[in-house]
Amino acid sequence: MLNRNDLRRADINLLVVFEAMMQERNVSRVGEKLFLGQPTISNALGRLRTMFDDPLFIRTGRSMEPTARAEELFQILTPALDTIAIALSQTCEFNPASSNATFHIGLSDDVEYALLPPLLHRLRQEAPGIRLVIHRADCSRMPTLLANGEISVGISHTCDLPANAKRKFLRMIHPMVLRADSSKSALTLDEFCQRPHATVSSMVNLADDTDHALKRLKRQRQVMLAVPQFSGLPVLLAQSDLLAVVPDYIAKAMAGSGGLSVEFAPIELPGFELSMVWRGVSHNDPGERWLRSRFSEFLSDNSRQPMAIAAA
């Protein structure tokens, strides 16, 4: 059994580097995540190897793969670091106006594109010194990012979550049709099916729901373009007959920049929930509580109807 006096030779900063390396498996990415230079990370890895008398990480191509000893240590140290972080956070108050805290947040692509800019503007007014690190997190990745501590809070359409994670409903995601042509007439179902469609791969649930709704009517649409994220849609749709089914807040953001118009689909499409989720271990952290309160205030919409969208 280790004598607790021996803890004096342990540097908690080294354990933070170890945890980050287990998550990232890459020295450069660990440096970016912790805002440290590569020489500092390499030095920390050397000290960790001495501390635990094990290589811990073996270079395999561009990745640093953990040894069996590193995997064992990770299972032991992660809950211990969570406990230490909780204890430290509860000993101090959080003042957003003077804080320089760093928050790791998971956002789905739709949220990052349409909801983050106005949210960031509000956060900058209240807490000009904080740093936000955004991780791309869709429904499939969110549970893993929460479980391994890469993020403390996330916003997306969510599915299964870790057992200790918490969730809060923010708003409904309502599908709308985005188009760039100059016609003032609403789309008919025939036009909706005949015209080419663009989809965004990060919103696979929305695409599937649209196709399933058409299939029930024995109809189908023509998807001729699939892109990985929303940012390219305005340019791709411009001066074309392409249609795109997108969340209502995406539609509002894109129509607001001009050249695009928005309307309801000529078929009933189901909505789904946008939620905020967070790690149970950070539930009582003062800074995390403040951040979640800002998300809840600025992003919540209890209405079950799509937000009003002015014609472009």
Q: What is the DSSP secondary-structure string of the chain?
A: ---GGGGGG--HHHHHHHHHHHHH--HHHHHHHHT--HHHHHHHHHHHHHHHTS--EEEETTEEEEPHHHHHHHHHHHHHHHHHHHHHHTTS---TTT---EEEEEE-HHHHHHTHHHHHHHHHHH-TT-EEEEEE--TTTHHHHHHTTS-SEEEE------TT-EEEEEEEE-EEEEE-S---SPPPHHHHHHSEEEEEGGGHHHHHHHHHHHHHTT---EEEEEESSGGGHHHHHTTS--EEEEEHHHHHHHHTTSS-EEE--SS----EEEEEEE-GGGTT-HHHHHHHHHHHHHH-B--SSPPP----
Q: What integer best gives the mean pLDDT of the chain?
A: 87
Given this model, what pLDDT does residue 112 score? Answer: 94
- What is the CATH number that goes with domain 102-172+273-299? 3.40.190.10
Residue 1 binned pLDDT confidence (cut-offs 50, 70, 90)? very low
Structure token pair of residue 307? 């937000």
Q: What is the pLDDT of residues 198-245, one digit of tens each?
A: 999 888 888 899 999 999 999 999 999 999 999 999 999 998 999 999
Asked if the domains at 102-172+273-299 and 175-270 fall in one CATH topology, the answer is yes
pLDDT band at 312 (very low <50, low <70, confident <90, very high): very low
pLDDT at 260: 92
Longest dimension (CA), the chain: 78
Domain ranges of the chain: 4-89, 102-172+273-299, 175-270
Enumerate residues 6+ apart whose C-beta is below 8 A from 100.
129, 130, 131
Predicted pLDDT of residue 157: 87
Kindly list the strands in the beta sheet with 166-173, ordered across the sheet, starting from the edge strand earlier in the chain.
131-136, 102-107, 153-156, 272-278, 166-173
- What is the spatial order of strands in the sheet that 222-227 belongs to? 222-227, 196-200, 243-247, 175-179, 261-263
Tell me the pLDDT tens digit for each residue of 87-127: 666 556 789 999 999 999 999 999 999 999 999 999 999 99
pTM strictly above 0.75: no
For the domain made up of 175-270, the CATH class stated in words is alpha beta
CB atoms near residue 271 (< 10 Å): 17
Report how far residue 11's alpha carbon sits from residue 291's, in angstroms, rounded to the nearest whole number.
29
Give the mean pLDDT of 182-196.
93
Alpha-carbon gap, residue 258 to 311, rounded angstroms: 10
List, for residues 160-176, the tens digit of each pLDDT value: 777 778 899 999 999 99
> Domain 4-89 falls in which CATH fold?
Arc Repressor Mutant, subunit A (1.10.10)
Residues 6+ apart with CB under 8 A from 264: 176, 177, 186, 306
Contact call for residues 295 and 151 (beta carbons, < 8 A): no
Give pLDDT, residue 88: 65
Separation of alpha carbons 138 and 202, rounded Å = 7
For residue 255, which phi and psi values (nearest 5 degrees)?
-65, -30
pLDDT at residue number 308: 54
